[in-house]
Structure 1
Amino acid sequence: MLSIIRGQVMKSVSLRTLAVRSYSSAKESDQDFDNRWESYFKRPTLDGWELRKGINDMQGFDNFPEPKIVVACLEACKRLNEPSLATRYLEALKWKAGKDANVIYPWLIQEIRPTLDKLKIATPEDLGFDKPELALKSVFEMKGPNDY
């Protein structure tokens, strides 16, 4: 009998705790969000693991980061000597833009171009990552031995 009561009490306690956890966060304005992430990447104590965690968390959000956040992240990559991470972050941003990548991504590159030039960070397009590495011509477009 005691175990049945204990089981019912534990179920109700855990359900109440779960409900409190899900409703405990406050709304954050867009400006507060931008400032929080910009200051996160500009922290002088930021290390490589925290940089990767921040990038991963940013990719998980349902919004596209403002150029000032991207600039702060790229500066952190340069400060931590992670140029390849900076390039891969730009590539991830292109994928994050989804079906609007041909509009959003060029705008982003245009906005952050002075920072890219100052930090000497290459975009994926500069390195040829936008083209397949081992692409072959279609067999239907190849010339045969008698076509020369």
Structure 2
Amino acid sequence: MARPDHKPTAAQRRRVEIAAGGGMSHEGIAQALKIDPKTLRKHYAVELASGANLKRMQVLESLFSQARKGSTSAARAYLAHAPEFEPIAEPAKDEEAKPEPKLGKKEQANRDAVGAEAGTGWDDLLPKGVTPIRKTA
């Protein structure tokens, strides 16, 4: 006699989202639910794919709310997450395949020298808007 088909409940779906959001492996989630990893991937594909992002957003929203109420530890935790930005528009097709030309040693050194003083304590010694340029000859 064959096993009955797995029917996920709302509670199981929430548990999978929470586990995925916490970084648990698919094998670990399947073991905790006492199902096969293939069954997990078949019946909980949406929760595995977007559950982590959904739960992380909920945690960030909660941290932000607590930070606004004056919790400094929540503010630190919220600000510890570095933002990730994705480009909004894709580059034009003719711009995609153009690699940047390789610079010579002197040209690269000149580019690297611009703004190199920032954050070193020397940045206030140079006039603003003036960039040091080495001779290339």
Q: TM-score, normalised by structure 2?
A: 0.25
Higher RCO, Cα 8 Å, sep 6+: 1
Q: TM-score, normalised by structure 1?
A: 0.24
Q: Return the structure number with greater helix share.
A: 1
